[in-house]
Chain A
Amino acid sequence: MQLFPCPFCGPRDETEFHYGGDAGNVRPDGADVPIERWADYLYLRGNPKGTAREIWVHMSCGEFFVMERDTVKHEVLSSTALGGEHAA
């Protein structure tokens, strides 16, 4: 079981976390957003091999944050609160 660093609570078991999606997947607003753009936002994911930037939520404290991790080595590279308030 991996250890994820919550920026607010410190290292915790991965079972305390939920995946929230790719980081940087910015929501396009508007009823007239090109449909391809909207489909990208909704459905298309990078699934990178190697370094991935992802949104996670620590279910125990309810806080969302950005975590960078290596999908091959399962190493956690960084963990930052949304808006970059502070990092653990």
Chain B
Amino acid sequence: MTASRLTTGGSAIDRSRPIRFSFDGTNVEGFAGDTIASALMANDIAVVGRSFKYHRPRGIWGAGVEEPNALVDVGGPRATPNTRATTEPARDGLVAKSVNATPSALADRNAFLDRFSRFIPAAFYYKTFMWPDWHMFEPRIRAMAGLGEVDKGWTSPGSADQINHHCDVLVVGAGPAGLAAAKLAAGASLSITLVDDQQKPGGSLGHRAGEIDGKPAAIWIDETIAELAAGGHLILPSTTAFGIYDHNLVGLNQRHFDGRRDTLWRVRPRQIVLATGAIERPLPFANNDLPCILSADAALAYLRRHAVLVGRRIVVATNNDSAYEVAEAVAEAGADVTLVDIRRDGMPATKARLVKGRALAAANGKLRVEGVTLDDGARLDADCVLVSGGWTPTIHLFGQAKGKLAWSEARAAFLPGDPVDGIAVAGAAAGAVSLSEVFAGSQNAVASLGQAKVVTPRSTGVEATGGIVAAWPAPGSKGRIWIDYQNDVTVKDVELAARENFVSVEHLKRYTTLGMATDQGKTSNLPGLALMAGITGRTVPEVGTTTYRPPFTPVPLASFAGARAGELMAPVRRLPLENIHRADGAVFQEYGGWLRPAHYGGRDADADRTIQDEARRARQSVALFDGSTLGKIEVIGPRAAEFVDFLYYNTMSTLKPGHCRYGFMLSENGVVFDDGVLVRLDEHRFVVSCSSSHVTAVHARLEEWRQDRFGRGAVYIHNATAEMATLTVSGPNARKLLETLDFGLSLDDAGLPHMATGHGNYGGDEVRIARVSFTGDRSYEISIRADRAEPLWAHLRQAGQAFDAVVIGLEALMILRAEKGFIVIGKDTDGTTLPHDLGVEGPRAKRRTEFVGRRSLFTEEASRDNRLQLVGLTVPQGDAPLPTGAHGIKRSGGRLRSQGFVTSSYQSPALGRPIALGLIERGAARHGEAIEIQHLGKVSTATIAAPCAFDPAGDRLHA
């Protein structure tokens, strides 16, 4: 037994609430307030994971976010893979498993890999597994390397909340610097948001000595927090500020411990104070990755917060003053302590044995530390080594905000350089060591924001000192010295990178993986680039740092997703009559963002037969169709006619009130963007019936031209699509059916001819009835207030019984329109289709007024004589329909060349044979010609025909 729980003390734990959880199948006992790591430590479980590449045994290094080794997969309803044992609260019944180890961290069956380590240095994979193909090796390598596993059977317990938040000052970090800054800013009547990633505020004051304004630090923390809470300021514990984005938007991820998902906060503060502290670095010596070698500061945190003494015979190795407090404290708690300081002069120690001017050369042991060898060859027994290689300020957020860093030789660290607008850095993050320096920094950070009416906190206890002498990993060192624990990067790997000329930090990172993965090099980056500086004869600032990018710590994807999951991932637009259609057995599908009936009844295997049946019956008597998705964008105003003339390819101003006209809208590059019917209600009022899936885009386009070219007062645009339902009655008996209802207007060819529109009345509501047809049969589109559509639909259905009416879905409608050669933009056209490719040549030849896309219709490209043109394609009776997307091909000299492709293809029940539309080279002039069609290597023959295959004379429109 080496590490153990003391019988008294521990500010974070509640001894009256014992808990029990499992780690790698072993029972672990602890107390409420423990982290998984502190409980493992209290139970003397030294090996908690296996390293990424060599499967080396690894133990806990830190006590916070910097932890590179102790990653665990937490199972159960709050499952999280790769979470840090040092930040994950232990709770009763929790099941944790070490990562990258089978069956357990202690007895990992891939541990043999470490014996081959000399053969698998950095970039080994890049160089070795190239031939014949990386993908041949990938599955086995992935199984041997890597971290935790995602539980595929796990489902989310609800979605994460996302909150937008504004405040005057956002203080990141509730250590002494952050608390002081918050207190001062609150005293200047500013609204504060204070966030800290720990459950309890206080930062380093939670385990380091301190006396503030004559009070013990713990009391000062409680009072300060109480004061801020009483002032109505927002205090968010267990919340990590993971990123600063453009214009100082700050992303926060807040953890909850009651089963809820994390909460994502988007904060727009006027001012940010970064009081993010600093992270202790390792020291370079051989086997410095053995279990029971940990950060000195972490050992102090475990002692004072969790009452865990990390060892019995402890060697503390340091290059600075901060480890002295640790050495004295663990000695006081009963350990036998030797303090090895690389500096010759420096502080005295009272309880620890002091060895000055010496460094560790190596740690000895297999599964845990058994002793150390000093650089003079002396050997010491030890069951634990505490290391302090100095402090790296946590300036990630400052770096993300494009803050420049300045190298400090005195601190052996990068500090924040030139200030960034709206961001101040205070405390250890700015290089402060003593509490007096910390508080002076907080005062400066707040000074520019307003006059604080409170006194700056004052340190009244013993002050911490720094006194660091840099101890960077040196080139040519003996043994295996780890730089990056998480990615198994050693001094030799960095040397290899330098030999192969990957000397830039960004190249070094990618070549060796230094600083990648979940910890993003929080402990390893600076030693790694200092080593590169040493190897290449440069200074550390000359080598520079890699780019800081969010997130600071891993953020669950669920937080970013928020409510945007499942149905809300891409919400569909819904029909007012959806429930009625459902009751009728409609099978729904999404079409261009709308959820619409594909057909009624006949699921799965029966779908095709049902669709054929609907299309066949629609031609026999009469069909009812819900066309409510059709665009209804009103264009109103004194220059409305001129406006629609400009927007449409076709001249629209000659349209008479009460009439409709079919036309194209083009993009400025001449390509057909949308087609549809324009209705002229009166002199200055039009309704644009654009395609269902294009309503938003057409509306945006109309607005753009209105505002950019016509002016706000000349035209008004109103998108009324959702206000009206449109019910379509189509077929030879359409008129007879409708005449059984009384709309108060004549529906015959004299009263309402084809392409005319009229107003009637139904149940006290105005209805608009348009004679337009997408089926080729006599059709009436009846538009009515969406909330009054239900009785009309029910009435139509009931009246339809006498005519054997059929309700059809979109799939049947697609067949009916294809029989007529009517196109769907984006299906029968692509991003190169010009209007004359579709046989609509008139406006191009005749129009003299300006319209969108006009000039593009007269380019060399537009006039090419071998353009793809819309055609019909017929196949012999009894053949299967052509595959959509199949290419028309031409053979010349043994080579195949595409001549275009099939865009729509169906079995036509009315014609009893397959029909198809396609875009074929010179197609308009090739009607009657045979063409070879190839699909997935199979070739068949079709005949080019006119697009319209059914009722070419159009008699049925008036039938």
Binding site for B on A (CB under 8 A): 1-3, 14, 18, 20, 27-31, 33, 35, 38, 41-42, 55, 57, 62-64, 74, 82-83
Contact = CB atoms under 8 A, between A and B. Distances in A.
A20 B708 CA distance: 11
A33 B859 CA distance: 11
B134 interface: no
Interface in B686-709: 700, 703-704, 707-709
Among A28, A29, A33, find the residue whose CB has the most chain B CB atoms closer than 10 A.
A29
B268 interface: yes
A81 B830 CA distance: 35
17 contacts: A1-B247, A1-B249, A1-B266, A2-B246, A14-B246, A27-B668, A28-B855, A30-B850, A31-B857, A31-B858, A35-B859, A38-B855, A41-B668, A42-B669, A62-B703, A63-B707, A74-B246
B673 to A, nearest CB: 14
A3 B268 CA distance: 10
Interface string B846-863: 000010001111110000
Nearest to A41: B668
Nearest to A43: B669
Contacts of B711: 83
B710 to A, nearest CB: 11
Contacts of B704: 20, 57, 64
A31 B855 contact: yes
Given A1-B245, A3-B268, A35-B859, A64 B854 contact: no
Contacts of A83: 711-712
A71 B875 CA distance: 57
A64 B707 contact: yes
Nearest to B711: A83
Given A29-B850, A42-B856, A74 B708 contact: no
Nearest to A65: B707
A55 B246 CA distance: 20
Interface in B830-869: 850, 854-859
Contacts of B858: 31
Interface string B235-258: 000000000011101000000000
A14 B246 CA distance: 10
A41 B854 CA distance: 13
Contacts of B249: 1, 3
A17 to B, nearest CB: 12
B246 A1 contact: yes
A29 B848 CA distance: 11
A28 B855 CA distance: 9
A57 to B, nearest CB: 7
Q: Which label, helix, strand, loop or mixed, suits the secondary structure of the A interface?
A: mixed
B451 to A, nearest CB: 27
A1 to B, nearest CB: 5
Contacts of A63: 707
A20 B268 CA distance: 26
B246 A82 contact: no
Contacts of B850: 29-30
Given A30-B854, A42-B668, 7 more contacts: A1-B245, A1-B266, A3-B249, A20-B704, A27-B709, A55-B708, A57-B703
A21 to B, nearest CB: 9
Contacts of B669: 42
A11 B768 CA distance: 42
Contacts of A20: 704
Contacts of A33: 855
B250 to A, nearest CB: 10
Contacts of B246: 1-2, 14, 74
Interface of B: 245-247, 249, 266, 268, 668-669, 700, 703-704, 707-709, 711-712, 850, 854-859
B394 to A, nearest CB: 23
Contacts of A35: 855, 859
B700 A57 contact: yes
A3 B707 contact: no
A73 B249 CA distance: 15
A84 B314 CA distance: 74
Contacts of A74: 246-247
Nearest to B246: A2
A14 B668 CA distance: 26
A64 B247 contact: no
A57 B707 CA distance: 11
Report the 5 A-B pairs with minimum CB-CB distance, sorted nearest first: A2-B246, A64-B707, A3-B247, A38-B855, A29-B850
Given A31-B858, A42-B669, A2 B247 contact: yes
Nearest to B849: A29
Contacts of A55: 708
Given A1-B249, A2-B246, A29-B850, A64 B855 contact: no
A3 B855 CA distance: 37
B469 to A, nearest CB: 40
A18 B704 CA distance: 12
Nearest to B164: A13
B480 to A, nearest CB: 44
Contacts of B856: 38, 42
A64 B245 contact: no
Nearest to A2: B246
Contacts of B712: 83
Contacts of B857: 31
Nearest to B249: A1
A57 B701 CA distance: 11
A82 B949 CA distance: 49
A64 B708 contact: yes
A42 B852 CA distance: 12
Contacts of B707: 63-64, 82
A30 B848 CA distance: 9
A55 B704 CA distance: 10
Contacts of A62: 700, 703
A33 B103 CA distance: 75
A42 B708 CA distance: 16
Contacts of B700: 18, 57, 62
A21 B298 CA distance: 55
A71 to B, nearest CB: 12
A15 to B, nearest CB: 11
Nearest to B667: A42
A64 B704 CA distance: 7
Contacts of A18: 700
A29 B734 CA distance: 45
A28 B854 CA distance: 11
A41 B668 CA distance: 10
Nearest to B707: A64
Contacts of B245: 1
A3 B859 CA distance: 41
Nearest to B853: A42
A38 B700 CA distance: 23
Contacts of A30: 850, 854-855
B170 to A, nearest CB: 15
A64 B705 CA distance: 10
Contacts of B854: 30-31
A82 B714 CA distance: 14
A20 B709 CA distance: 14
A27 B705 CA distance: 11
B291 to A, nearest CB: 43
A42 B247 CA distance: 32
A24 to B, nearest CB: 12
A27 B249 CA distance: 37
Contacts of B703: 57, 62, 64
The CB with the most chain B CB atoms within 10 A, among A27, A31, A83, is that of: A31
A2 B712 CA distance: 28
Contact of A82 (B266, B268, B708, B855): B708
Nearest to B844: A31
Contacts of A38: 855-856
Contacts of B859: 35
A62 B246 CA distance: 24
A55 B700 CA distance: 14
Nearest to A39: B859
